[in-house]
Structure formats: C-alpha cells, structure tokens
Amino acid sequence: MSLTPVRSTPTKQISSPSAFTESPGNWKHPRLAEITARQARTTFSQKNVLQIVYNVVAIAGVQVLRRFLLPHLPIRLEKLPYGSYIPLTLLLIPLFNILLALLPLVRPKDDLSDIPLTPAQRDLLGLPPIRAPPTPASDISTPRNTPAPPP
C-alpha cells in the first residue's frame, strides 16, 4: 500500500502588519489631551488605590524605623538642628500623597461644557448632552498666521 500525496490548493500566508501607519481617515480632536486629562482628574481608579496603599506602607515603615531604629542610633535626632522635624516630615509626605490620591472622590464631575464638542463626540466620551446651545464665541478660533501690517 502506497500513500499517494493529496493535492490541495495552496494557502496564502497572511503577514502581520509591521507597523501601524496613520491613514487620512484617522482624526483626533485637537483638545483630546486636555479632555482626557480633565476626565482623569475626577476619576478614582486603581492608580489612586495603589498610591494610597504604597503611602500607608511608607507610613508603617517610618513608624517601625522610628520605634526600633532611632533608639539605637549613636546620634540623637533631637541634638541636630531641626532634627525632631525629620520623622514628622517623613510622615507628612505620605499623608499629603494620600490626600492627593483621595481628591478625585471630592472633586465635582467636569462636564467639559467649555470645550466645543458635537453631541456624537460627547456621547462617545460618556458626557451628558449640553443643555444650552453653544455660544457663537466658542466656535471662533483665532488665526494662526496673522498677516504682517503694510509697510
């Protein structure tokens, strides 16, 4: 019994795109960076939780060092000029960082009403529709190249 090779149609090798090239169909809002930054200011995310956890660990580390290491140092911090402020400063920095991480919880939600966006763009960004129609001044943009005055 001999096996005869089975003929099949050749398959085309699909090559993966090497790099994404921006086509003329891709458009980005000119103020998209500002929009995302303003939305991030009011969003409490995993990044904020991690920042709080890291700073709580730092506070615990400072307390452990203060309790177990400082009594065994040959130099007393109280004898240094402003030496008693060192442990206090090492505690205040993480506390300040924790307060900064908690700020998105107390900031009011920004509706970005001062940025001219179409209703479709507002819907894509998850923003509520604008109640008042945009003012004519919000659509006016200043010219980038101003003509030189005549000599």
**Residues whose CB is less than 8 angstroms from the CB of residue 113 and which lie 6 or more positions away in sequence, other chains included:** 130
What pLDDT score was predicted for residue 119?
A: 85
Contact of 48 with 104, CB cutoff 8 Å: yes
Please list the helix, strand and coil fractions of the chain in percent, rounded to the nearest 5, in that order. Answer: 50, 0, 50
Q: What value does the mean pLDDT of the chain take?
A: 78
Q: pLDDT digits over 82-91, tens only? A: 777 888 888 9
Report, as an integer, the average pLDDT of 35-45: 88
Q: Could you give the CA distance from residue 59 to residue 74 in angstroms, rounded to a whole number?
A: 24
Report, as an integer, the average pLDDT of 33-40: 86
Contact of 114 with 138, CB cutoff 8 Å: yes
Residue 38's nearest CA partner among 126, 130, 131 is 126
Q: Is the pLDDT of residue 20 over 90?
A: no
Q: Is the pLDDT of residue 128 over 60?
A: yes
Q: pLDDT digits over 59-80, tens only? A: 999 999 888 887 777 777 777 7
pLDDT level of residue 140 (50, 70, 90 thresholds): very low
What pLDDT score was predicted for residue 4?
A: 66
